[in-house]
Amino acid sequence: MPKEIIVNHTERETRIALLDNTTMSNFFVERTTGRSIAGNIYLGKVVRVLPGMQAAFVDIGLDRTAFLYVADASYDLSHFEFMVDEDDDLDFDEKWHKREISYSIEEIIKEGQEVFVQVSKEPFGNKGARITTHISLAGRNLVLMPTLNHIGVSRKIQDERERQRLHEIIERLSPEGYGFIARTASEGKEEDDLRGDFEYLTRLWETIKKKKSEADVPELVHEELGITLRTMRDLYTEEVEKIIVDSKEEYDRISQFMSEFMPDAEHFLELYEKYEPIFDHYGIELDVERVLNRKVWLKSGGYIAIEETEALTAIDVNTGKYTGKKNLEETILKTNLEAVKEIAYQLPVRNIGGIIIIDFIDMEIEANRDKVFNALNEELERDRNKTKIQKISEMGLIEMTRQRTGKSLGKILCETCPYCEGSGSVKSGKTICNAIFRKLERETINELAEAVCITVHKDIADCLLEEERGTVEGLESRLNKKINIKVNNYFHREHFEITYL
């Protein structure tokens, strides 16, 4: 299917949408004030070693100290997470996978020690960034591992002849002592096509080493490419027919990058100069609004509800308005299968990662449960991020994990509700009114004042003057005090004040 990359750039933020046959299949946003730090390289200092956690905290100059796990400070590649595109499933010799860590964090890391590290995972919630001492630099076709003398080929390249051919090219061109991995994009590329990556990455590493020698501690030594150039490097494939940018500044930056690393693709780049905003022109703005909704409707009339919590994401499948045509089991199966496609679409578009629990509608027939599980497995194979999925339970639950690559779209574009503080609910009007009545009865007995003023939010004032009017009048009579209701719309809905006149 034809694909297009649409780039909307302003001085405040950059938004990028990947269209697959006019449907948005991926969406990325990066703001000037909240740029991603994944892939950045720092010279840091160990501030604390935790033997009980087999980890260390490292000051790299951010608000929170970064987290260095023993496996990320060792040379055991079975635990090694490379800072490359998630689409590349990296392959290593079996001898590396069979090795086990036989030493502890305190044997290799000391407090006060300077460490040269790369951010492998963004800070998330209250957690600091996760870092690794294994530096990796991604090019268009290759990944340089300057600290490991090893050659690898992406597992996504399955043809054995092609794997061997790439291995031989890397062996022939790589400088002594450096490790390289052929990315998925290198499949079918000739030696001359790959030589540019070798030269660029080794030159970049020499520059980084020089900066490191002159850096103070803690200090940023190398900053990863911005979102636009990362997208060009990692998402551009032969299926992309157009790259359309609405900013001359960003257009020039992409053009220069392409001329150096992707000269064959430069003619696909277009500058959008129409008056209508680019995301409106391609219908993307509405798609972005829809992916922020909690409830997503299915074509049949069913829907899925997506709830992100601190620990996990819960997805609930419901039949909604769909009543089916024949029998209940068939209706449920059709809704669940429809939900599978929507879930597989929503996860990457919203960039949801971590633990995910999917509550499908209960199915009595085991064969139907297998159909839903297999369908989900098949859909998730297209996901660029790694996923692991457990068999569907008798209750219709599926537990799965999806590799987290930063904040979800909801976390970036939204903030916690100041009323419910993320719980998704606030006290009802009647509950707040009853709290006011209890406080009045408890405190007014000893008050000599002739009147009471209750200051509340407008919604609660309406409840007191309408639904609870009889209760208010009864209290006035029993307490022998006039009760006045005052509105303050700046109050939190659950906040109230009682003053005595």
- pLDDT tens digits along 65-77: 999 998 888 654 4
Are 15 and 119 contained in the same domain?
Answer: no
Query: Distance between CA atoms of 103 and 110, rounded to whole angstroms?
Result: 14
Q: Which pLDDT value is given to residue 80? A: 39
- CB–CB of 58/68 below 8 Å? yes
pLDDT value at 32 more than 90: no
Question: Could you give the percent of the chain with pLDDT greater than 70?
Answer: 92
**Residue 344, Cβ neighbours under 10 Å: how many?**
20
What mean pLDDT do residues 364-368 have? Answer: 87
Are 219 and 233 contained in the same domain?
Answer: no
Tell me the residue range of the domain where 311 lies: 293-413
Are 179 and 219 contained in the same domain?
Answer: yes
- Say what the pTM is: 0.76
422 in a domain, yes or no?
Answer: no
Q: What is the DSSP letter of 414?
A: -
The CATH number of residue 240's host domain is 3.30.420.60
Are 170 and 49 contained in the same domain?
Answer: yes
Are 215 and 358 contained in the same domain?
Answer: no
Are 365 and 258 contained in the same domain?
Answer: no
Strands 114-121 and 41-50: antiparallel
Tens-place pLDDT, residues 470-499: 999 998 888 888 999 999 988 988 899 999
What mean pLDDT do residues 37-64 have? Answer: 90
418 in a domain, yes or no?
Answer: no
Give yes or no for a cis peptide into 2 (omega within 30° of 0).
no
Nearest CA to 268 out of 248, 250, 245 is that of: 245
Are 102 and 174 contained in the same domain?
Answer: yes
Asked which of 413, 441, 472 is the last residue of a domain, the reply is: 413
Q: Which pLDDT value is given to residue 101? A: 57
Q: Quick one: tokens of 496? A: 């109230």
423 in a domain, yes or no?
Answer: no
pLDDT band at 433 (very low <50, low <70, confident <90, very high): very high
Looking at 267-271, 288-292, 418-422, which range is the least confident one? Answer: 418-422
Query: Distance between CA atoms of 69 and 49, rounded to whole angstroms?
Result: 10
Are 256 and 347 contained in the same domain?
Answer: no
Q: Which residues contact 247 (CB under 8 A, 6 or more apart)?
A: 7, 9, 10
Query: Strand (E) positions, 85-239?
Result: 114-121, 130-132, 137-138, 142-145, 151-153, 179-182, 219-222
- CB–CB of 76/139 below 8 Å? no
- CB–CB of 31/46 below 8 Å? no
Specify whether the backbone of 128 is left (phi greater than 0), alpha (psi in -120 to 50) or beta. Answer: beta
Tens-place pLDDT, residues 294-338: 899 998 888 999 998 878 999 999 887 766 666 788 888 889 999
Are 438 and 403 contained in the same domain?
Answer: no
Q: Which residues pair with 148 in a beta bridge?
A: none
- CB–CB of 342/296 below 8 Å? yes
Tens-place pLDDT, residues 185-199: 888 888 888 888 888
Angle of helix 248-261 relative to helix 191-214, nearest 10 degrees, comes to 110
